[in-house]
């Protein structure tokens, strides 16, 4: 699954938002503090990337960029807050695959529309998933061994996630369905509780962002057996990709920057330029490196088209698993 392509066509609701009427003339932009909303708690992956981006953007835009954490409902609380903000470029949103692609199908009721309520600015990065096996299965040394164990005892091998219909849940479901095996899903209330359950041998495996997986696999009896990326990553150079193992998943927990819909196009263009420059800063490159990712800037149109493809791909997994949330 390709994250974005240069030849991607428009034709999506998100792209249409770019052509909407201007909210106010863009005179002297920016003229005050900009807030970058994260839909997740402080200290987590999204917060880390948001703070790295805010730090890099501040000198480029000449105003302070602050991170505002609005956690809840799989990122939906923050997304709704960003969608309702004044469309003048002084509120930005760090959307992720959950908020911009998965939630639109998984949630029966949302307080925002990922296509209608946001103007795409730029793709930021894809943080690969690593598939980690815990000490409860010491005999499983590689991904094939995990699949064979699941085939021998359907529904006995367990996998953790940080919630029903989360990327962690669906990334594992997508792979095991492609491989025609059966595992038992054990959802937790967050990434940290799931990781603790793996290390305590309460659950057998989990798909995790590569940075967290790399930290967890240091001297804990856990091991990464596969990564979801287009090619092998520096954090796990000896671990094969899902593509190498015959699967199709090559993206993980991707992140992108948006503004509220109807933000003036000159402001969007200025922000796209600033985000691109921020992604070239060594400090931000280092933030992503620790997570196994690299900067991947895009045009607003490329981001809109990518989001449409991702939404369609993950909708199939949600429907196949029945992973709906009331």
**Are 317 and 97 within 8 A, CB to CB?**
no
Whether the predicted pLDDT of 17 surpasses 50: no
Contacts of 292 (CB under 8 A, 6+ apart): 127, 128, 130, 209, 210, 211, 214, 227, 229, 233, 234, 235, 236
Structure confidence by residue, pLDDT tens digits, 48-58: 999 999 999 99
Considering the entire predicted model, what is its pTM?
A: 0.86
| Percent of all residues in the chain with a pLDDT value above 90, rounded to a whole number | 81
pLDDT in tens, 261-281: 999 999 999 999 999 999 999
Q: Which domains does the chain have, with CATH numbers?
A: 13-126+252-321 (3.40.190.150), 129-228 (3.40.190.10)
- 215-258 pLDDT, tens digit per residue, is 999 878 899 999 999 999 999 999 999 999 988 888 899 999 99
Among the listed residues 108, 102, 220, 230, the one whose alpha carbon sits nearest the alpha carbon of residue 171: 102
Averaged pLDDT of the chain: 90
- Tens of pLDDT, residues 69-116: 999 888 999 999 999 999 999 999 999 999 999 999 999 899 999 999
* Cis peptide preceding 311, ω within 30 of 0: no
Summarised one tens digit per residue, pLDDT across range 179-220 is 999 999 999 988 889 999 999 999 999 999 999 999 999 878
Please tell me what DSSP assigns to residue 75: G
């Amino acid at each position: 699954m390709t994250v974005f392509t240069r030849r991607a066509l428009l034709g999506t609701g998100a792209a249409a938002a770019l052509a909407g009427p201007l909210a106010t003339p863009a005179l002297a932009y920016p003229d005050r503090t900009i807030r970058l909303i994260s839909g997740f708690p402080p200290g987590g992956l999204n917060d880390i990337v948001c703070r790295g981006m805010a730090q890099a953007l501040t000198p480029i835009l000449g105003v302070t960029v602050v991170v505002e954490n609005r956690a809840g409902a799989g990122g939906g609380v923050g997304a709704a807050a960003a969608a309702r903000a004044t469309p003048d470029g002084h509120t930005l949103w760090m959307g992720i695959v959950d908020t911009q692609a998965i939630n639109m199908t998984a949630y029966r009721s949302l307080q925002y529309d990922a296509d209608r309520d946001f103007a795409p600015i730029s793709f930021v990065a894809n943080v690969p998933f690593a598939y980690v096996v815990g000490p409860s299965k010491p005999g499983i040394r590689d991904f094939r061994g995990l699949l064979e164990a699941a085939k021998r005892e359907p529904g006995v091998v367990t996998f953790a996630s940080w919630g029903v219909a989360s990327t962690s849940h669906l990334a594992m479901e997508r792979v095991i369905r492609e491989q025609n095996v059966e595992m038992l899903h054990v959802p937790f209330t967050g990434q940290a509780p799931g990781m603790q359950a793996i290390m305590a041998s309460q659950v057998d495996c989990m798909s995790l962002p590569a940075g967290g997986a790399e930290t967890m696999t240091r001297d804990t009896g856990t091991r990464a057996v596969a990564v979801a990326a287009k090619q092998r990553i520096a954090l796990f150079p000896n671990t094969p990709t899902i593509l190498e193992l015959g699967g199709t998943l090559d993206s993980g927990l991707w992140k992108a920057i948006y503004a509220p819909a109807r933000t003036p196009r000159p402001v969007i263009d200025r922000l796209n330029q600033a985000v691109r420059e921020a992604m070239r800063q060594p400090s931000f490159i280092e933030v992503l490196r620790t997570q196994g990712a690299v900067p991947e800037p895009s045009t607003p149109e490329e981001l809109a088209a990518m989001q449409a493809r991702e939404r369609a791909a993950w909708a199939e997994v949600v429907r196949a698993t029945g992973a709906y949330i009331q």
